[in-house]
Amino acid sequence: MTGVVVAIPQPRAGELAAELALEGIDVVAILSPTAVIEVPPGAEAIIVPATRAVLSAELISACDRAGVRILALGGADSRLLGRLGLSEALRPEAAGWEIAAALASETDTVPRPQSVLPHRVIAVWGPHGAPGRSTLAIQLAVELSRRERRTALVDTDTVAPALALLLGLSDDAPGVAAACRRAERGALDSAELTRLATTVATGGGDIEVLPGINRPSRWPELSSTRLRATLGACREWSEETVVDVAAAFDADEEVTYDLAGPRRHAATTASLNEADLIIAVASADPLGISRFVREHAELRRLTAPTPVVVVVNQVRPGPLGIDARGQVRRTLERFAGITDVVFLPFDQRAADAALLHARPMTDVAPRSPFLAAVRRLASTLFPADAASATADSSRGSSPVVRRLRSALGARGV
Residue-wise pLDDT tens digits, 235-250 = 999 999 999 999 988 6
DSSP annotation string for 191-225: HHHHHHSEEEEETTEEEEEE---SSGGGGGGS-HH
- Choice between 388 and 309, residue whose per-residue pLDDT is larger: 309
Nearest Cα residue to 137 out of 127, 147, 152? 152
Q: Can you give the pLDDT at residue 84?
A: 62
Residues with Cβ within 8 Å of 58's Cβ and at least 6 positions away in sequence, in order, are none
Q: How far apart are CA 374 and CA 136, in angstroms?
A: 8
Average pLDDT for residues 26-49, to the nearest whole number? 80
- Confidence band, pLDDT 50/70/90 cuts, at residue 400: very low
Amino acid in the structure at residue 312 = V
- Is the bond leading into 305 cis (omega within 30 degrees of zero)? yes
Asked if 188 and 182 count as a contact pair (C-beta separation under 8 A), the reply is yes
Average pLDDT for residues 385-408, to the nearest whole number? 45
Q: Can you give the pLDDT at residue 202?
A: 92
Average pLDDT for residues 380-394, to the nearest whole number? 56
Integer CA distances (angstroms), 130 to 79, 89, 161, 281, in order: 53, 56, 12, 10
Q: Can you give the pLDDT at residue 391?
A: 42
- Choice between 359 and 84, residue whose per-residue pLDDT is larger: 359
| Lowest-pLDDT choice from 53-62, 294-303, 404-413 | 404-413
Amino acid in the structure at residue 187 = A
Assess whether pLDDT exceeds 60 at residue 184. yes
Q: Can you give the pLDDT at residue 33?
A: 76
- Confidence band, pLDDT 50/70/90 cuts, at residue 397: very low
Q: Please calculate the CA angle 311-316-320 and round it to the nearest 5 degrees.
A: 95
Number of Cβ within 10 Å of residue 325's Cβ equals: 15
Assess whether pLDDT exceeds 60 at residue 251. no
Assess whether pLDDT exceeds 50 at residue 112. no
Residues with Cβ within 8 Å of 382's Cβ and at least 6 positions away in sequence, in order, are 117, 147, 388
- Choice between 262 and 251, residue whose per-residue pLDDT is larger: 262
DSSP annotation string for 264-284: TTHHHHHHHHH-SEEEEEEES
- Confidence band, pLDDT 50/70/90 cuts, at residue 278: very high
Q: Can you give the pLDDT at residue 44?
A: 82
Q: How far apart are CA 5 and CA 37, in angstroms?
A: 10
Q: Can you give the pLDDT at residue 46?
A: 84
Q: Can you give the pLDDT at residue 215?
A: 86
What single-letter DSSP state applies at residue 90?
Answer: B
DSSP annotation string for 164-200: HHHTT--TTS-HHHHHHHHHHTT---HHHHHHHSEEE
